[in-house]
């Protein structure tokens, strides 16, 4: 038995039948815990040697989930947190919410048909709840303004030393926009399909809080609308699933914030640019020799997809 399994058994005071590794966020080691009585839990942790520059510490992730849950938004309940030495790392155990996260299945499988109809509204409603989270307990989170984000993204882009004129145009376009301030809120930071657990009935849970920060609420809404997560259903702006009107209606049904679609457009354009730079980051991990991966090499040629999206938004004002 591994030290990690032994540690979990001692902490949970229960025998573990199986630990199943799951693929997850860029900076987390995630396992499904199957207990001797067949109950299931999820453990997310970071091993000390693989701390990411982008992700927040796992303990903070757990804290956010607790605060968000207390406020009534759908997130898995935290069972316990740990911060141990190198072998075990830092992380937390949470409840395993049954449901599907794979976007293509949610978008295509018959059994999700009735859930699909209400998801844009429900996702908007839950996001509004998240954005109302009291920030008093979350002071450890970074506060990030739009110009901070843009500046940081530009530095990352410059670091590859591979000019992409479309990105340069997009940076200049974004710098010239007038952003509406809605007051600081808790931003999930990676709010899109893949991080939603969906049952046949509804949205069950929002997971993967490792990019959370304090910022503008429109960031989450814009990111959700980025074309890269529509999985072929291009005309459906909300994750390939539904209309933006339903998302906005859901959000506004639960919030005092009134959404201006033109603000959402700006944040969606920013989202496409951000995804483009992340694709570059992935491919340069391969090109620099840090890892040798055909997937990472291939993703470099997906940068042109984000450039195509950016140019359609800039030239044709087409946000679909």
Partner 1 sequence: MSVFDRPTSKELLEAVIDFIDAEIKSDSYPANKKFKFQIVLNVLNIVKREVETGKEVNEKLTKSGSKLLNEENFSIEKLSEKIRNKELDYENQSLIDFLYDLTEEKIKIDNPKYK
- Does 302 sit near partner 1 (CB under 8 A)? yes
Nearer to partner 1, 129 or 237 (CB): 237
Nearer to partner 1, 139 or 317 (CB): 317
Nearer to partner 1, 252 or 305 (CB): 305
Nearest to 275 by CA among 156, 165, 112: 156
| Distance separating alpha carbons of residues 170 and 188, to the nearest angstrom | 24
Residues 158-197 that bind partner 1 (CB under 8 A): 163-166, 168-169, 172-173, 176
Among 18, 104, 114, 308, binds partner 1 (CB under 8 A): 308
Binding letters toward partner 1, positions 119-148, x by CB under 8 A: ------------------------------
- Does 317 sit near partner 1 (CB under 8 A)? no
| Distance separating alpha carbons of residues 177 and 174, to the nearest angstrom | 5
Among 59, 138, 281, 311, binds partner 1 (CB under 8 A): 311
Q: Are 25 and 7 spatial neighbours (Cβ–Cβ below 8 Å)?
A: no
Least distance in Å: CB of 280 to partner 1?
14
What single DSSP character describes residue 226? Answer: -
Residues 221-240 that bind partner 1 (CB under 8 A): 234
Q: Are 177 and 146 spatial neighbours (Cβ–Cβ below 8 Å)?
A: no
In the three-class reduction of DSSP (H, G, I as helix; E, B as strand; rest coil), residue 116 is classed as helix
Nearer to partner 1, 253 or 318 (CB): 318
Query: Total residues at the site for partner 1 (CB under 8 A)?
Result: 24
Least distance in Å: CB of 101 to partner 1?
17
Question: First-to-last CA distance in the chain?
Answer: 51
| Distance separating alpha carbons of residues 310 and 268, to the nearest angstrom | 9
- Does 314 sit near partner 1 (CB under 8 A)? yes
Nearer to partner 1, 51 or 172 (CB): 172
Handedness of CA 5, 7, 9, 12 (dihedral sign): negative
Number of other CB atoms surrounding residue 303 within 10 Å: 21
Least distance in Å: CB of 88 to partner 1?
29
Nearer to partner 1, 111 or 301 (CB): 301
Nearer to partner 1, 117 or 168 (CB): 168
- Does 295 sit near partner 1 (CB under 8 A)? yes
**Under 8 Å CB-to-CB from 43, ≥6 apart: which residues?**
8, 19, 30, 31, 33, 91, 92, 93, 94
- What does the angle CA 206 – CA 209 – CA 213 come to, to the nearest 5 degrees? 125
Nearer to partner 1, 290 or 298 (CB): 298
| Distance separating alpha carbons of residues 226 and 268, to the nearest angstrom | 6
What single DSSP character describes residue 79? Answer: E
Q: Which positions lie near partner 1, rule CB under 8 A?
A: 163-166, 168-169, 172-173, 176, 234, 294-295, 297-298, 301-302, 304-305, 307-308, 310-311, 314-315
């Amino acid at each position: 038995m591994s030290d990690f399994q032994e540690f979990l058994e001692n902490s949970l005071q229960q025998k573990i039948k199986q630990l199943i590794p799951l693929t997850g966020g860029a900076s987390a080691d995630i396992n499904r815990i199957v207990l001797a009585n067949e109950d299931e839990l999820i453990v997310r942790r970071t091993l000390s040697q693989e701390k990411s520059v982008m992700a927040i510490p796992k303990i903070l992730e757990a804290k956010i989930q607790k605060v968000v849950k207390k406020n009534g938004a759908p997130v898995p309940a935290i069972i316990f947190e740990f911060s141990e030495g190198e072998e075990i790392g830092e992380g937390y155990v949470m409840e395993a919410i049954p449901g599907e996260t794979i976007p293509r299945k949610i978008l295509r499988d018959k059994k999700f048909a009735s859930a699909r109809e209400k998801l844009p509204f429900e996702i908007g409603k839950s996001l509004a709840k998240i954005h109302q989270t009291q920030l008093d307990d979350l002071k450890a989170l970074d506060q990030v303004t739009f110009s901070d984000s843009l500046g940081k993204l530009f530095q990352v882009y410059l670091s590859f030393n591979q000019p992409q004129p479309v990105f340069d145009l997009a940076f200049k376009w974004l710098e010239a926009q007038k952003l509406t301030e809605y007051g600081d809120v808790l931003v999930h930071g990676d709010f899109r399909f893949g991080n939603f657990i969906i049952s046949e009935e509804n949205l069950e849970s929002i997971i993967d809080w490792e990019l959370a920060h304090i910022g503008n609420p429109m960031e989450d809404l814009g990111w959700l609308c980025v074309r890269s997560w529509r999985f072929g259903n291009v005309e459906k702006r909300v994750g390939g699933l539904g209309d933006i009107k339903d998302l906005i209606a859901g959000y506004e049904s639960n919030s005092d914030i009134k959404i201006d679609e033109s603000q959402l457009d700006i944040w969606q354009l920013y989202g496409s640019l951000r995804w483009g730079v992340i694709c570059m980051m992935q491919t340069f991990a391969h090109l620099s020799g840090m890892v040798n991966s055909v997937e990472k090499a291939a993703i470099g040629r997906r940068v042109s997809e984000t450039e195509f999206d950016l140019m359609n938004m800039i030239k044709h004002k087409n946000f679909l």
